[in-house]
Amino acid sequence: MKGTTFAYPMYLFSGYFTMGHHSDITKRFFLLAKHQEIQALRHLSSNCKIVKAVTEMIHQLQRERGMSNVFLCSRGERFATQRAQQETASEMSEKTLRSLLNALYLSNSDNGLTMRLVTTITFALQGMDNLKDLRSKVALQQLTPTESTNAFCRLIAALIDVIFEAADVANDPAITRLLVALFNFIQGKEYAGQERACGAIGFSSSHFQQSLCDRITALTDSQNHLFETFSKFADDTELSMWQQQLESDHAQHLSRLRKMICELGETDTCTAELSEIWYDIATLRIDAMQDIEEHITDRLIEKATLRIAQAEEELRNNELLIASLNSSPPTGDTPISMIYDKTVKGLSMEGTHSEMGITSTSLSAHKSFYDLIRQQAQHIQDIANELNGAKQALNEQKAIDRVKLLLMQQGKLSESQAYKKLQSAAMEQNIRIAELAQRMLESLI
């Protein structure tokens, strides 16, 4: 970008103040707005590529977590080969992510990164650097299944945070909506993965403790909440893919198994063979979710590319307009200006006098220029309004997360217990969970 922004031929500008209505600096800022939009879209496009690689890496880690769990639970008897193969797949996706991070962010200081996004990425990288250690401990069975699972969970949570931040800094309404949909979907899928692990523990030990049942219920509720938000922000294609999945055979199977878990008493036992059925069905479901994820991340990159092309086209048109502006002398009338535009805010003095408005109705370049400036000002307002809903959904999710963490720290609760507590308090007060979480945070400030 450097150097291109201001390298306009001089005929576009005709001195510090033109004889017409518009000074050079106004024209330059007018063009700069579109340049900044293009630059922001390029950064957003980079972020979408990173989000795609992060999404892929999360999926591989989820698989590796599941297999490591089975491997450790069976004291190394099951999934030894699969786990080793999965290691390679995980490493591949990690390598892709690292190369992209290097190419998109480290080779150019104009990377559009915010301190927040960089910090979130650094935190995830710190975890990724220690995957080797984790894997060797799993291979040597130096960890309990819980310890291994927790280590994977933490890294996956850190990677999901990267997607959250990418959604939070995005500024194109359509792309932001899709990023918000993706974030909620991936978080939901992560809880689906954790539910698979919890179920596997219960079925393989042939009974479900009450605490395990509660955890599974909380994970199911969290998923429902997240997929609901996903549905609000996803486009039609993703929605219908999701609808198909909800109606699929494995979804029905899963419901039946979930119901069975809830109905089992603490002392009831179930056949350990269900363990593999549970694992297979839950895995089918999660793999189908990956199709939707991939679809979203592909479309994110497409959309970003398209938006860049559109904005570049708009820039060319703007440049042509500025050129024609300089070749068409302004009329001697009252200039077309925001200071005379009755539709512009700032008035407190409206009287009964008929006020001078924009009198020129000719299609002059000056009129077009003012119209475009006015439209651009309206456009950024519209964007802000459109972004509002998506950003609010993100903030609500963040508020729930933060309150959960507070409850976990203060009440020594698990994440699921904290969610459950929040959920029942919200039901009691007859408000949405997000609303309760936000109120709780406000009362802390």
Which 197-256 residues touch its own copies, going by CB under 8 A?
A: 197-198, 215, 219
Say how far apart CA 382 and CA 374 lie, in whole Å.
Answer: 12
* Burial status of residue 76 (CB atoms within 10 A of its CB: 0-12, 13-18, 19 or more): middle
Nearer to its own copies, 187 or 297 (CB): 187
75 binds its own copies (CB under 8 A): no
| Contact between 364 and its own copies per CB under 8 A | no
Of 291-350, binders to its own copies (CB under 8 A) are 334-335, 337-341, 344-350
Angle value at C-alpha 245, between 243 and 250, nearest 5 degrees: 145
CB distance 235 to 299 below 8 Å: yes
Least gap, CB of 349 to its own copies (angstroms): 5
> What is the smallest separation between the CB atom of 278 and its own copies, expressed in angstroms?
16
Judged by DSSP in three states, 140 sits in: coil
Please spell the DSSP secondary structure of 48-92, one letter per residue: HHHHHHHHHHHHHHHHHHHHHHHHHHTTTSSSHHHHHHHHHHHHH
Q: For residue 145, which of 57, 99, 204 has the smallest C-alpha distance?
A: 204
Residues 6+ apart with CB under 8 A from 323: 11, 12
Output the smallest distance, CB 347 to its own copies, in A: 5
- Binding residues for its own copies, rule CB under 8 A, total 112
Site for its own copies in 393-412 (CB under 8 A): 398, 401-402, 405, 408
Q: Taking the complex as a whole, how short is the minimal distance between the CB of residue 45 and its own copies, in angstroms?
A: 15
With respect to its own copies, which residue has the nearer C-beta, 100 or 284?
Answer: 100
Q: Which of 3, 66, 11 is nearest to 35 (CA)?
A: 3
Output 299 or 365, the one with its CB closest to its own copies.
Answer: 365
Q: What tokens were used for 134?
A: 């984790």
Q: Which one among 36, 206, 283, 364 touches its own copies, defined by CB under 8 A? A: 36
Give yes or no for a contact between 372 and 30, defined as CB atoms under 8 angstroms apart. Answer: yes
Of the pair 3, 430, the CB lying nearest its own copies is at 3
Interface of this chain with its own copies, residues 88 to 127, rule: CB under 8 A = 98, 101-102, 105-107, 109-110, 113-116, 118-123, 125-127
Minimum CB distance to its own copies, residue 435 (Å): 13
Residue closer to its own copies (CB basis): 348 or 430: 348
Q: Which residue number, 328 or 388, has a Cβ lying nearer to its own copies? A: 388
Q: Taking CB under 8 A as the rule, does residue 130 contact its own copies?
A: yes
Q: Residue 313 carries which side chain, given as an amino acid letter?
A: E
Which residues, other chains included, contact 9 with Cβ-Cβ below 8 Å and sequence gap of 6+? none
Alpha-carbon distance 111 to 32, whole Å?
A: 18
| Euclidean distance between CA atoms 39 and 5, whole angstroms | 10
CA dist 77 and 345 (Å) reads 74
Q: Which of 15, 88, 129, 210 binds its own copies (CB under 8 A)?
A: 129
Part in contact with its own copies (CB under 8 A); list of ranges 33-41, 76-84, 288-296, 314-322: 33-41
Of 415-434, binders to its own copies (CB under 8 A) are: 415-416
Residues 133-162 contacting its own copies, CB under 8 A? 133-134, 137, 143-144, 146-147, 149-158
Report the alpha-carbon distance of residue 252 to residue 273 in Å, rounded: 19
| Binder among 373, 390, 433, 437 for its own copies (CB under 8 A) | 373
- Which of 177-185, 225-233, 278-286, 351-359 is the region at the interface with its own copies (rule: CB under 8 A)? 351-359
Q: How far is the CB of 373 from its own copies (least distance, A)?
A: 5
Please, are residues 193 and 62 in contact by the beta-carbon 8 Å criterion? yes
Q: How far is the CB of 39 from its own copies (least distance, A)?
A: 8
CA distance linking residue 44 with residue 303, whole number of Å? 10
Which CA distances in Å does 81 have to 201, 266, 361?
21, 34, 77
Nearer to its own copies, 272 or 377 (CB): 377
Q: How far is the CB of 443 from its own copies (least distance, A)?
A: 12
* Smallest separation (angstroms) from its own copies to the CB of 236: 19
Give residues 167-196 in contact with its own copies (rule: CB under 8 A).
171, 191, 194
Q: How far is the CB of 240 from its own copies (least distance, A)?
A: 24
Q: Which is nearer to its own copies, 183 or 299 (CB)?
A: 183
- The tokens describing 51, both together, are 């989000």
Q: Could you tell me the smallest distance in angstroms from the CB atom of residue 51 to its own copies?
A: 16
Question: Which stretch, 4-12, 229-237, 250-258, 289-297, contacts its own copies (CB under 8 A)?
Answer: 4-12
Element (H, E) at 378: helix 365-411
Judged by phi (left if over 0) then psi (alpha if -120 to 50, else beta), residue 17 lies in: beta
Q: Which stretch binds its own copies (CB under 8 A): 229-237, 251-259, 300-308, 384-392?
A: 384-392
Q: Are 187 and 160 in contact (CB under 8 A)?
A: yes
Single-letter amino acid code for the residue at 125: L
